[in-house]
Amino acid sequence: MDKRILIPTDFSKNALNAARYALDLYTKLNCEFYFLNVFRLTNYTTNTLILPEPGSAEYEAAKGASEEAFIKLLDMLELHHDNPKHSYHTISSFNFLSEAMKQTIDNKDIDLVVMGTQGATGAKGIIFGSNTVNAMEKIRECPVLAVPDELRFSIPKEIVFPTNYKSSFSRKELNYLIEIAKMHNTSIRVVYFTKKTTLTEDQEKHKQLLDDILQGVDHSFHTVPDKDVAQGITSFVQSRNSDMIAFINKKHFLFNSIFSRPLVKEIGYDATVPILALNES
């Protein structure tokens, strides 16, 4: 079955960049790409009691503008990404982005969401736009890949996978990470940040299970002592010129402590590499 990838777009350069990255990353696989645009109505606000109806002049004009922008987008993509393995679909929706994304994930059986880190209105100093942070935090049905602004695709040579070994692992929650590694012959570097030198018995078991699951792809284990986790990831990625960060989006684990915007801003994390948020099974 073809892989189904959802790419929300506001037709900004950043969204186009994320789309191009996704097309290049999955160039070897048969994929159906679903492009989603949530359109707005100029005179409509949440204070307005009357919702614009399909068929009304304002609604149809806004939808028509979205569909016209899609024609230009697909022409641009097909010009540079003429891949017989890929097919494109477009969805113009008058809805909240989060709702439109959830509906599309359910209705189209989406495997992966790919988003740019900022939209057309991205404020300077905020690395991840709120839509991207919300998607990485809230979407549990499939992984979310966030692609930094202006990042050009290059074949990923190394993916950094931070973990604390406190929970068990499953093949299901790691299958997208392993798939990318196998597609591009990419190495996975498992990184544990700790002030202790030894693992508990349970942590050792979880590490061994992870080692077993990653058999078949090049991988290695690294321990970084006495490091603030967020700074540690940044330093590790920068020192090795790594190409991607992947983490399992466990509730109350790394997401809130590392990738939330306040801390991202505080530590000056540049989001120079894509971040893949996998789902806890």
What is the tens place of the pLDDT at every residue in 171-221? 999 999 999 999 999 999 999 988 877 889 999 999 999 999 999 999 999
Region 73-91: what's the mean pLDDT?
91
Q: Is the pTM of this model over 0.85?
A: yes
Does residue 87 contact residue 30 with C-beta atoms inside 8 Å? Answer: no
Give the model's confidence band at 17: pLDDT under 50 very low, under 70 low, under 90 confident, else very high: very high
Dihedral over Cα of 138, 139, 144, 147: its sign: negative
Kind of pairing between the strands at 3-8 and 31-38? parallel
Least confident of 69-78, 163-172, 254-263: 254-263
User: What class, spelled out in words, does domain 3-147 have in CATH?
Assistant: alpha beta
Query: So where are the chain's domains?
Result: 3-147, 158-279
* Mean pLDDT computed over every residue of the chain: 84
Q: Are 83 and 23 in contact (CB under 8 A)?
A: yes
Tokens of 205: 């078991």
Pick 125 or 12 by higher pLDDT: 12
Q: Please give the CATH topology (third level) of the domain spanning 158-279.
A: Rossmann fold (3.40.50)
Per-range mean pLDDT, top range of 49-63, 132-146, 207-221: 207-221
What the block records as the tokens of 60 is 């149809």
By percentage, how much of the chain surpasses pLDDT 70?
82
Task: Read off the pLDDT band of 87 (50, 70, 90).
Answer: very high
Tell me, yes or no, if the two domains 3-147 and 158-279 fold the same way: yes
* CA atoms of 104 and 107, how far apart (whole Å): 5
> What is the side-by-side order of every strand in the sheet holding 158-162?
86-93, 31-38, 3-8, 112-116, 144-147, 275-279, 244-249, 158-162, 187-194, 219-225
